[in-house]
Structure 1
Amino acid sequence: ASMFYPVPGLTLGGLVVEERTGEVVHRDGGNVAGLYAAGRTAGGICSNSYVSGLSLSDCIFSGRRAGAHAVEKALDTNA
């Protein structure tokens, strides 16, 4: 039988996102429509170091931003 243990993880850097929407930016410079990154999966304030306690607020802000844009796009599509 295998033993599993929770391990805290942290990434520094992450995917490049469009600042206003949270959409992932393709390496050619265009946005990847419908693909969002939030929290530590998105490059942001702590791309080169870690500020203790900032992860939670970063996740809340960037998740809310991405969610709001996704809803806006869904409503535009269904109108």
Structure 2
Amino acid sequence: TWGGGWLSKLGFHDFAGSNCIHMVGGICALIGAAMVGPRIGKFTKDKAGKITKVNAFPGHNLPIGCLGVFILWLGWYGFNGA
């Protein structure tokens, strides 16, 4: 990304380091999701261990969802204003 590495030789240009920030976050999230695995109760398995049904988890807590939206709004404001 910086200093004429192999990506710059391919014509890649990273604007303000945004690629590094988002790639690190995405790779960490992917590794974390692989380590934790699916939620308990997401899949129904038979006696042989084969998945027979995928169970849905509907959203059920509107105040916590709204709180998450407000936290995102404040986080974006602070990140973009810095």
Same fold (TM over 0.5): no
Higher helix share: 2
* Bigger Rg, which one: 2
How high is the TM-score relative to the length of structure 2?
A: 0.34
